[in-house]
């Protein structure tokens, strides 16, 4: 009975894929799919805030992250599903659960308990210790060499992933001090905007735009900094100029138009 239950659950999990394979084909571009996903994410964030389940600061940070991913989305098209590809996928639809079932019978150990909370705490503590060691090693490394700069970037990424924004900002500032990079400056500026540090973010974006004036992410963040500082006229001017330079099929165009409409 237990194996029949597992097979039933596998069939339910793969049912949406089967439905997508056997319904009439439709060509969908990568940009269109990305845009639909980001619109849904933004709408969900708005609903969470309206329902009181998301504070304003958390809502703003989440919105910025969705906007960052949209502005970083690759500019490429994905071809529609061809008949041959659909047939291959349909075969895999049945082969995947069968192969997984066989592999589980061969190598599976259903009696192994889940990792307890204490073990997860110990793993997190080990990760923290590694970050402390990395920070100490970088502090002893000459700051002007490229290896140190890359180390600070990696440390900043790790700290941001763990939600420690102060530590991430410090690491990225050290990397920028070694060599200024507009892309990394955009990451740090967005983090500063999430923390409400508008003036430092504006100064950083101004410098980055001096080196990469056409970068759409930098231009968008510059307008966002102006909007969050209450300088709506400047934000509108910045975003309108960006909109004029944005291709009609750019995945972030709809987001930019929405931000312009939402300005007071």
Q: Choose the CATH number for 120-262 among 1.25.40.10, 3.20.80.10, 3.60.9.10, 1.10.490.10.
A: 1.25.40.10
Query: What would the pLDDT profile of 102-118 be if each residue is shown by its tens digit?
Result: 666 566 655 555 556 66
pTM of the shown model: 0.57
Element (H, E) at 164: none
pLDDT at 111: 58
Q: In 105-116, which positions are buried (b, 16+ CB within 10 angstroms) versus exposed (e)?
A: eeeeeeeeeeee
Residue 99 has pLDDT above 70, yes or no: no
DSSP for 184-216, written as a single string: HHHHHHHHHHHTT-HHHHHHHHHHHHHH-TT-H
> Percent of the chain at pLDDT above 70?
63
Which two structure tokens, joined as six digits, stand for 53?
Answer: 């389940």
Express each pLDDT in 204-243 by its tens digit: 999 999 999 999 999 999 999 999 999 999 999 999 999 9
Would you kindly state where each structural domain of the chain is located, as residue ranges?
2-107, 120-262
Q: How confident is the model at residue 125 (pLDDT cuts 50, 70, 90)?
A: confident
Higher-pLDDT residue of 85 and 136 is 136
């Amino acid at each position: 009975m237990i194996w029949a239950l597992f097979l039933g659950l596998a069939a339910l999990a793969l049912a949406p894929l089967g439905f997508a394979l056997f319904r009439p084909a439709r060509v969908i571009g990568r940009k269109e799919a990305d845009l639909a996903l980001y619109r849904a994410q933004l709408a969900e964030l708005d609903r969470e805030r309206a329902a009181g389940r998301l504070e304003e600061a958390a809502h703003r940070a989440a919105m910025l992250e969705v906007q960052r991913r949209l502005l970083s989305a690759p500019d490429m098209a994905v071809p529609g599903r061809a008949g041959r590809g659909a047939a291959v996928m349909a075969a895999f639809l049945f082969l995947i659960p069968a192969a997984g079932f066989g592999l589980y019978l061969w190598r599976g150990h259903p009696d192994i308990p889940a990792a307890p909370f204490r073990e997860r705490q110990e793993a997190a503590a080990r990760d923290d210790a590694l970050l402390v060691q990395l920070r100490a090693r970088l502090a002893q490394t000459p700051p002007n060499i490229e290896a140190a700069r890359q180390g600070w970037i990696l440390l900043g990424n790790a700290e941001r992933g763990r939600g420690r924004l102060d530590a991430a900002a410090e690491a990225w500032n050290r990397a920028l001090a070694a060599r200024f990079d507009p892309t990394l400056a955009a990451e740090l500026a967005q983090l500063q905007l999430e923390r409400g540090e508008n003036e430092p973010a504006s100064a950083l974006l101004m410098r980055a735009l001096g080196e990469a004036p056409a970068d759409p992410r930098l231009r968008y963040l510059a307008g966002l900094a102006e909007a969050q500082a209450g300088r709506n006229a400047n934000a509108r001017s910045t975003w309108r100029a960006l909109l004029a330079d944005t291709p009609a099929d750019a995945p972030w165009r709809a987001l930019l138009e929405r931000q312009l409409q939402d300005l007071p």
